[in-house]
A = this chain, B = another copy of it.
Amino acid sequence: MKLLEDRIVKDGVVIGNNILKVDSFLNHQLDINLFNEMGKEFKNLFINSSVTKILTIETSGIAIAALAALHFQVPVLFAKKHAGLNMDEDVYQTKVFSYTKNLEYDIKVSKRLINSEDCVLIIDDFLASGAAMSGLINIVGQSRAKVAGVGIAIEKSFEPGRKVIEDMGIRVEALAIVDSMQDGSVVFKKFK
């Protein structure tokens, strides 16, 4: 998606050859008009998938999922990493390791809110190791809902995430695919 790639070039900050900071528009400050366009694009990509629910995970996926949901006209459900005291006890849960926080989380989704009739599009800001997405796919599996696919804003293609998910037979769509980063700049995957 050219709009997102252009924004990464303009406002992303590359640190070393692995860190891409996009906190001025994607995961700390949020450019909602960009997210709205991203939501339209996700809808175009998954238009034939009969999506009934969008699933994401705290924190950075939430606003991206919310704007996508406007276009899909379905609810968003976010898996909780930091469940409050009021959270249902009857939950689907699994463990996810976060490399950016160097912590393992129990992620939880209330059993009431997802079931075998659902067809779930999973959305997140970044795809790198695939750990968070695998956790969400695990939770959808526990509920016996169907996974429509995984929609990602920015994929790092030099990390194993896509292979991990596609090996489960699940479709992955990323709006910007970063093939490499060096000397402060980003090389995107070329599409024919």
Contacts and interface: CB of A to CB of B under 8 A. Distances in A.
A102 interface: yes
Given A70-B36, A84-B101, A29 B63 contact: no
A19 B86 contact: yes
A66 B33 CA distance: 10
B82 A28 contact: no
B84 A100 contact: yes
B28 A69 contact: no
Nearest to A114: B29
Interface in A5-51: 15, 19, 21, 23-25, 28-33, 35-36
A85 B102 contact: yes
A19 B113 CA distance: 19
A88 B25 CA distance: 14
A75 interface: yes
A112 B80 CA distance: 28
B67 A29 contact: no
Interface of A: 15, 19, 21, 23-25, 28-33, 35-36, 58-59, 62-63, 65-67, 69-70, 73, 75-78, 80-82, 84-88, 98, 100-102, 109-110, 112-113
Report, nearest first, the 6 A-B pairs whose CB atoms are least far apart.
A84-B100, A63-B66, A32-B69, A30-B76, A62-B62, A29-B77
24 contacts: A15-B86, A19-B86, A23-B86, A23-B88, A23-B110, A23-B113, A24-B113, A28-B87, A28-B110, A29-B110, A30-B66, A30-B75, A30-B76, A31-B75, A32-B69, A32-B75, A58-B59, A59-B62, A59-B78, A59-B82, A62-B66, A63-B65, A66-B66, A66-B67
